[in-house]
Structures are given as C-alpha cells and as structure tokens.
Amino acid sequence: MATVYLGRVPLVFLFKPEYVRYVLVEHPRNFTSREISQPDETTASEGLLTIDGEKHRQQRRAVQPAFHKKQVEGYASAIMQYTQEAISSWHIGDSVDLTQSMQELTLRIIGKCLFGVDFASQLEALGKTFDDMIGSQAGILDTVFNLRIDNPVTAYGKRLSAMRKLNMSIYTLIAERRSDPTERNDVLSLLLKTEDGVVPGQLLSDKQIHDHILTFIAAGHETTAISLAWTFYLLSEHPHIRAKLQEELRTVLGDRPPTLEDIPKLTYTDWVLSESMRLYPPAWIQGRFAVDEFELDGVRFPAGTRVMMSQWIMHRLPEIWKDPLVFRPERWDPEHGQQVPPGAYFPFGGGPRTCIGMPLAQLEGRLILAMVMQRFQPEMPAGFQPGFNPVITLRPKHNLKARLMPVPTRDEASAAERRVLVSSMHDLSDRKGCRTALFDWLSFFRL
C-alpha cells in the first residue's frame, strides 16, 4: 500500500492481487466509483460507469441481454463486414494510420451492433469529437484544483465543446427511436423500456439514456481500438511472435476469411491479445471511494478513503510475472504458462462491475486482428517510439503509422523467424525493476 497526494487529495494505492479482489469482487458494495469520477458537464454521470447501488444493478440487468453469448455472436457478421470494407482500400506499400483506422472501424462497429446505426458518413467527425472529449483529459489542473474554464484553448473547454456536439447527435437519435414503432432488440430499445431503479415504474429519462449511450459508444470503441493499436505495435517490434501468429492464421484459415466457428481454434491469436492487454492495458487505472470504513492487513481506513488500483502496475509486478516487461504470449498457455493469481490481471475490471461489453470486445479484437494480419504485415518505422498519453485510457502519444508489407509465405516466414530469433532475445540487465512503477505512473501526468 502507498498513499500519494495529488495536491491535497490523498490517494491510497493498493498493490496486491488480494487487495484488488477485496475491493472489486469481495466487497464491491462498500466501494463506489461515483465520487472518484467527479461528474461534471463533460461526463456521463448517469452511465453504467458512474451509477451505483440498486440503480446500477437494475439498469445493468436491463441491458444485459444485448451482451449475452448468442446476441454477441450475432454481431460477428457486422464486425467482419465493416473490417473487410475498411481494409479493402489498403494496398501493399501504403502507409496507414492504424490509430485512426482502428478508432473509425470500432466506432462504426459499436454503432451498428448496439444501436442499429451506421456511422460510416460521420466517422472522421465523430473520431475528432471523441479525441477532443477523451484525449483532452488533462486531469490534475481541472479535477484536483477544480479549474474548469469554458474556453476553446483549455482542456475543459475542448471537452465541453465536444460534448455539445455529441449531445446533439445522441438526443436526435433518442427522439428518432421514440417516434419509430419498429420492434428492435438492440441496446437503445432496451434502454427505452428500462426502469430507473429508484422510483417503481418510472422509466429512464432522456438524460439517463443519453449518458448510457455516450458511455457505451465511448468505452465500447475506445478500449478496443487502443488495444488493437498497441497489439500491432508489439507485433511489429517482435517479428518472431508475428510469424507464429500468421502461421496459425495460415493453418486455421488458409486464404478464406475467419468465421465465428474459427474463433476457438485461434488460440495463439487470443494469447497475443491477452499479453498485449497485460503490457498495455487500455484501462490503465481505476479508483473507488469507500462508503464505510474498512480494514486491510491490519490497517484501518476511514469512510471516504479513495483507493486506486492500477492495471499498469499490477500487470507488471515482478513478484507475480516472470520477466514482466517481455512480450510473451506463451505465458497464457493454460498447460505450460504461468499461474496468475486472481486479481493480478484485470484489463476489464472485476466483480459485478466487470465491463459489460467484454464478450463483444474480445470477439471484435480477435476477428479484426485475424483479418488484418491475414492480409498485411504492418511495420512501424525504425526506431519509432509511440510514447504514452494516459488519459481515461492508455493512448499512444503518437499515432501509429505503419507501412503495409506483404505477408510472407510459409517458407519465407520460417527463414525469417530463424534470422530474428537470436536478435529477439531481450537483455533484461538494463531494465528497471517494476518496484519503480509507481514513479513511472506519476511521470504520466502533465500539468
């Protein structure tokens, strides 16, 4: 445990898997996220990420059918169609901004799957709006010191301007759906029939529905897009792992596109994504606010304590992970991989507030990664350093612009793997121990 002061605000960081389980899984009702999130005009204060108690339980239960296994599997055709359309304009030798491309693709997928809307004609504008809303989260000055100035040059002003644009689109969507008698089974239709969980029989207001939609769109596309971007970066940096992934795709798929039935066979693809989210978790930190006093390992904390749990730190602790800084998908092999204690790996959170969209994100990630890597080999420029922009999510500081190279044949891949095997071995002697990870975390912030 460690207490860090940001201004005059104490944050208690928890660094053990059992502490994470205590907060997220064993005692979730004693830890709320509402006070941590500091809702204001630029946040979805009535979305699933911020509401608590009976409201959260009832409203989450109401939209859960949209994320059941069969329903999510039904989204596969839209994911594959939109991915195929996105990469159909790519050609060998092109330079592609993977950060922007993945954002636009996942935005389109989330709109179609959850709300029955095709954002195809709005992708560039929507992407820019979400960049202003999410990417301008300066953090310390306007949250800790409460300096919120509505001006185009301030981070808060940019977020507020972006929110106004999104508000117009979302409220228009709600009004159009209310006037349309067509029966649908998407998230928006479920929200229109959901009670608020406070007053019996009272349905959600337009404001509450708006906040849910904003939460689903923002969280639903942002985390998957970032996860894929980091994965492409890691594969470019580790040619031997990329070769193994492409060999699996050749063996399982051949020249045909993947299907839903192929997903369980793409085990190495799944390990690659899991390992990518270990090293670069899209949701890199989360906090809770203690409702009542509690005790951990003999230390008593008063009600109101703000506790913080960082996936970035927990996923890299050397006490848990062997060679924690090494990108090694094989560590997720259930037969020969390492044992991961519960609470040590939580890219989607944990307990009753585990990300409701996790099944969709996992399916989406596997299909998109397989379809791209089956046809192309994205390579970053030599010496490229993406840097970090840790806002709500762990974004790369610099967009990942890759050259699209051809996928080598099996013989070419085997020869290339032999050449890079030695050079891919990591010299760990000059790496920092992860005991300094907290200082790395603090260096993320920009005043």
- Binding-site sequence positions: 355
The closest of 116, 15, 29 to 294, measured between CA atoms, is 29
Closest by CA to 332, choosing from 273, 243, 278, 271, is 271
Other C-beta atoms closer than 10 Å to the C-beta of 309 total 24
What the block records as the tokens of 123 is 């992708």
CB 388 within 8 A of CB 397: yes
Annotated binding site for heme: 355
Contact 327, 30 (CB under 8 A): no
Q: How far apart are CA 25 and CA 350, in angstroms?
A: 6
DSSP string across 368-398 = HHHHHHHH-EEEPPTT-----EESSSEE-SS
CA angle 355, 361, 362 (to 5 degrees): 105
Query: CA geometry: angle at 38 spanning 34 and 40, to 5°?
Result: 115
Alpha-carbon gap, residue 394 to 118, rounded angstroms: 27
Q: Largest alpha-carbon pair distance within the chain?
A: 67
